């Protein structure tokens, strides 16, 4: 059900499509396996949350931005980050259902597959933006060379992580390793848990 190559290819295509037109709908490949299709769709929505979060984070670092703009951006960052984490949990729930009953005595993997997909999503964005910097026309040759070296390192890191994801899933399906759903339990957006929010209401 879980194939890192499908996910990383989708990440790259989505990143390219949305940078050319942020409003464009991403058309996914149609897969025979419905659970695999469902996972790919969730991963694409989760990647969009990371895409939007990445660009809001850029806006937050604008030294010319007014306090009002920074406040608006910060609220957007909180929303995107909450969505990002909620979607990681949804991917893990789907994968847990696909894995079936797991033996509680098996070794437990500390990082869930959904969290690895999230890391792959961030690496896809790093790849895109580092590639952009490596051929930016108004950058120095030193800047371009440094980013070409960074690009190679990010490619290697993503390839390694994708292999780790595939191996983890093989072990889970072979019944030699297990994982749990780890709720993120974010407090900052919850009006019952964030003192600033519940004091103001």
How many CA atoms are closer than 13 Å to the CA of 180, on its beta-carbon side?
A: 9
Please, are residues 7 and 45 in contact by the beta-carbon 8 Å criterion? no
Q: Percent of the chain, pLDDT > 90?
A: 77
Q: Are 194 and 188 in contact (CB under 8 A)?
A: yes
Q: Output the pLDDT for position 112.
A: 97
Predicted confidence band of residue 189 (pLDDT cuts 50, 70, 90): low
Q: Taking the model in full, what pTM does it have?
A: 0.90
- What are the pLDDT digits (tens) for 114-140? 999 999 999 999 999 999 999 999 999
- Which residues neighbour 174 within 8 Å (Cβ) at sequence distance 6 or greater? none
Residue 171 confidence (pLDDT):
97
At 37-96, the pLDDT tens digits run 999 999 999 999 999 999 999 988 899 999 999 999 999 999 999 999 999 999 999 999
């Amino acid at each position: 059900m879980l194939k890192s190559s499908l996910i990383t290819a989708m990440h790259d295509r989505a990143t390219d499509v949305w940078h050319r037109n942020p409003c464009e709908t991403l058309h996914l490949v149609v897969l025979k396996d419905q659970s695999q299709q469902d996972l790919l769709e969730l991963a694409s929505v989760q990647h969009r949350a990371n895409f939007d979060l990445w660009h809001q984070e850029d806006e937050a670092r604008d030294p010319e931005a007014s306090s009002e703009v920074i406040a608006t951006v910060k609220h957007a960052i909180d929303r995107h980050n909450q969505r990002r984490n909620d979607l990681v949990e949804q991917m893990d729930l789907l994968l847990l259902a696909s894995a079936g009953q797991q033996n509680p005595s098996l070794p437990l993997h500390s990082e869930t597959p959904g969290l690895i997909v999230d890391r792959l999503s961030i690496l896809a964005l790093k790849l895109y933006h580092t590639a952009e910097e490596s051929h930016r026309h108004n950058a120095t040759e030193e800047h371009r060379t440094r980013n070409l070296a960074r690009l190679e390192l990010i490619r290697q890191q993503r390839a390694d992580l994708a292999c780790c994801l595939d191996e983890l899933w093989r072990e889970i399906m072979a019944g030699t390793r297990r994982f749990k759903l780890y709720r993120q339990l974010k407090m900052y957006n919850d009006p019952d848990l964030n003192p600033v929010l519940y004091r103001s209401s």
